[in-house]
Amino acid sequence: MATTESTTTYAGERETGLGELLPPVTRRRPRIGLVSGGLGTYWPQFPGLLPQLKESAAYVAERLGQLDAEVTDAGFVSDAQEGAAAAERLRLVDCDLIVLFLTTYLTSSMVLPIAQRTNTPVLVVDLQPSERMDHASFDTGDWLAYCSQCSVPEVGNVFRRAGIPFRSVSGWLRQESAWRRIERWVRAAHVRAALRHARHGLMGHVYPGMLDVQTDPTLLSATFGSHVEVLEFDDLRHRVEKVTEAETRERVELARRIFTVDDSVVDEDFAWGATVSVALDRLVEDFGLDTLAYYHRGLDGEQHERLGAGMILGASLLTARGVPAAGEFELRTSLAQLASQSVGAGGSFTEIQALNFEDGVVEMGHDGPAHLALSARDPLLRGLGVYHGKRGWGVSVEFDVRHGPVTLLGLGQDADGTLSFITSEGTVVPGPLLEIGNTTSRVDFGRDPGEWVDAWSATGVGHHWSLAVGHHGADFGAAASLLGIDHREV
């Protein structure tokens, strides 16, 4: 492959030009392993069979290679020894997902070592050559190219007995609906790759009294392989002190190209937010961060309070580039935002704001950082003399989310400490919105808003979550499977 890095684009970027003004960060592309195989006993019996099956295997490799992933093809295996050799090759690659393409019947002994020794999630793919056999002309060799399905229950049984999660896609070679299901698992591999290698910045301290947002950093490392980098606001202060006036002016001009600046914005506050933004970029680069969660209470306008209050502009710009930022020390939500942006769906810091029973919608959004690619119009910078529930003042980001399908993704935690992906799909619909410096939306979940809140809250989702554009519940469910956690859907 030409590159091992991946960038993410979002719906609406072409219209807004955000991709040009805010170049997205690049990350390690997901690594997909491919093994094709069939039972070698057949080859001398039916000489034309193996060449036909290898043509199908080449087509599968070609289709996978067209996706945004780094594909390692371990070749075609015909017996258990070759299966073990393929397992060793893929073990060294450190894949995020392995695709086992069953071209005809094969024994489970040929593929079990691949799942066991690589310690990687496996997707079993069974794609016969066409929609159906030609019964009038087919002989045994022709039929064997269509009988890979008989291996799928066998592999499923053996995987279950071995304690290995089983996933499969059955169809025919050029069936686009089957390929959409395969592509869903590749998108899920994007999430697994992002979370396995993520460095999550955690700066400041928890919002006092919010017990739900407190997260054990070791739990993220143990569950996903992520690293949590504990930061001080002094790490930001030190970098703010080194920002030049020219850099501040340049950042102000960039912000004016991206935002509509409301008359309520005070020039001094705008410049401060721009200065903090420049310093935030350096903080992220210096520590190699993929996400950032932060909060500092502060006191009477002292410097750390001003730093915390000046975060919104810079945090929103970072989020738009693919480095999600979340206020109120919401580490789990910044992780959910990273999962959202990994499937190209944005991911904005969100909570419930109010219910509208007359229109049947849930109004949701948040103050603070937001994902600009989700905006239905040019985002607005509004000046606020007071941040509700927080100390400080400054500029805040305001916009309404583009109308159409959306997916909520939260990261829940149970009494035993286990984490889960929690999702709900809805539709953002037009209607009146508050103009108070918040990201806001009216989401129709197709049911009574109060009943939806009851069901959503019963999942253990917590106070905040990620709002993503498009319907991606199935993608996040697949990602949860690859990550080895539960998926709960409302």
Give the angle subtended at the CA of 333 by the CAs of 332 and 335, to the nearest 5°: 65
Q: For strand 97-102 and strand 31-37, is the pairing parallel, antiparallel, or unpaired?
A: parallel
Backbone angles phi, psi at 484, to 5 degrees: 75, 30
Q: pLDDT digit string (tens) for 170-182?
A: 999 999 999 999 9
Q: For strand 361-367 and strand 438-444, is the pairing parallel, antiparallel, or unpaired?
A: antiparallel
Question: Is the Cβ–Cβ distance between 103 and 125 less than 8 Å?
Answer: no
The span from the CA of 367 to the CA of 354, in Å, is: 14
Q: For residue 174, what are its two tokens?
A: 């050029």
> Does the pLDDT value for residue 435 go beyond 70?
yes
Identify the pLDDT of residue 336.
Answer: 96
> Does the pLDDT value for residue 388 go beyond 60?
no
> Does the pLDDT value for residue 437 go beyond 80?
no
Backbone angles phi, psi at 383, to 5 degrees: -85, 130
> Minimum mean pLDDT among 13-27, 236-250, 338-352: which range?
13-27
Say which residue the tokens 């197709």 belong to: 446
DSSP state of 375: B
Q: pLDDT digit string (tens) for 261-289?
A: 989 989 999 999 999 999 999 999 999 99
Q: Where are the alpha helices (DSSP H) in 217-244?
A: 217-224, 233-240
Residues counted in the chain: 490
If phi over 0 gives left and psi between -120 and 50 gives alpha, with beta otherwise, what is residue 46? beta
The span from the CA of 181 to the CA of 298, in Å, is: 49
Question: Is the Cβ–Cβ distance between 115 and 164 less than 8 Å?
Answer: yes
Say which residue the tokens 């050029």 belong to: 174
- Residue type (1 letter), 436: I
Q: For residue 490, what are its two tokens?
A: 């409302």
Beta-bridged to residue 142, according to DSSP, are none
2 versus 423: the higher-pLDDT residue is 423
Identify the pLDDT of residue 391.
Answer: 60
Share of the chain above pLDDT 90, in %: 73
Helix (H) or strand (E) holding 405: strand 404-413
Identify the pLDDT of residue 8.
Answer: 53
- Residue type (1 letter), 49: L
> Does the pLDDT value for residue 343 go beyond 50?
yes
Identify the pLDDT of residue 487.
Answer: 97
Give residue 5's pLDDT band: very low, low, confident or very high (50, 70, 90).
low
The span from the CA of 109 to the CA of 117, in Å, is: 13
Q: pLDDT digit string (tens) for 310-322?
A: 999 999 999 999 9
Q: pLDDT digit string (tens) for 69-86?
A: 999 999 999 999 999 999
Q: pLDDT digit string (tens) for 13-71?
A: 434 477 788 888 888 899 999 999 999 999 999 999 999 999 999 999 999 999 999 99
DSSP state of 211: G
> Does the pLDDT value for residue 446 go beyond 80?
yes
Question: Is the Cβ–Cβ distance between 15 and 377 less than 8 Å?
Answer: no
Give residue 475's pLDDT band: very low, low, confident or very high (50, 70, 90).
very high
Identify the pLDDT of residue 117.
Answer: 94
Say which residue the tokens 């305001």 belong to: 398
The span from the CA of 356 to the CA of 345, in Å, is: 26
Question: Is the Cβ–Cβ distance between 126 and 76 less than 8 Å?
Answer: no
> Does the pLDDT value for residue 12 go beyond 50?
no
What is the average per-residue pLDDT within 427-444? 86
230 CB contacts (<8 Å, ≥6 apart)? 202, 217
Identify the pLDDT of residue 24.
Answer: 86
Backbone angles phi, psi at 200, to 5 degrees: -95, 120
Centre a 10 Å sphere on the Cβ of residue 369 and count the other Cβ atoms it contains.
29
Nearest to 362 by CA among 410, 412, 411, 424: 424
57 SS3 class: helix
Using only C-alpha atoms, the chain has a radius of gyration, in whole angstroms, of 25
Strand runs labelled E in 205-317 = 227-231, 260-261, 291-295
Residues 55, 56, 59, 63: what is their CA dihedral angle, to the nearest 10 degrees?
-160
Give residue 338's pLDDT band: very low, low, confident or very high (50, 70, 90).
very high
Identify the pLDDT of residue 387.
Answer: 62
Q: What is the mean pLDDT of the chain?
A: 91
The span from the CA of 376 to the CA of 53, in Å, is: 49
Give residue 115's pLDDT band: very low, low, confident or very high (50, 70, 90).
very high
Identify the pLDDT of residue 299.
Answer: 80
Q: For residue 125, what are its two tokens?
A: 């793919």
Q: For residue 294, what are its two tokens?
A: 């932060």
> Does the pLDDT value for residue 290 go beyond 90?
yes
Helix and strand counts by DSSP (H, E) for the chain = 18, 21
The span from the CA of 209 to the CA of 132, in Å, is: 62
Question: Is the Cβ–Cβ distance between 168 and 115 less than 8 Å?
Answer: no
Beta-bridged to residue 490, according to DSSP, are none
Q: Measured on CA atoms in the order 173, 186, 479, 35, is the torsion positive or negative?
A: positive
> Does the pLDDT value for residue 11 go beyond 50?
no
Going from the N-terminus, what domains does the chain have, and what CATH number goes with each?
A: 5-188 (3.40.50.10940), 198-489 (3.20.14)
Between the alpha carbon of residue 240 and those of residues 71, 233, 312, 321, 370, the distances in Å are: 42, 10, 15, 20, 22
Q: For residue 391, what are its two tokens?
A: 């100390």
Identify the pLDDT of residue 130.
Answer: 92
- Largest Cα span, the chain: 87
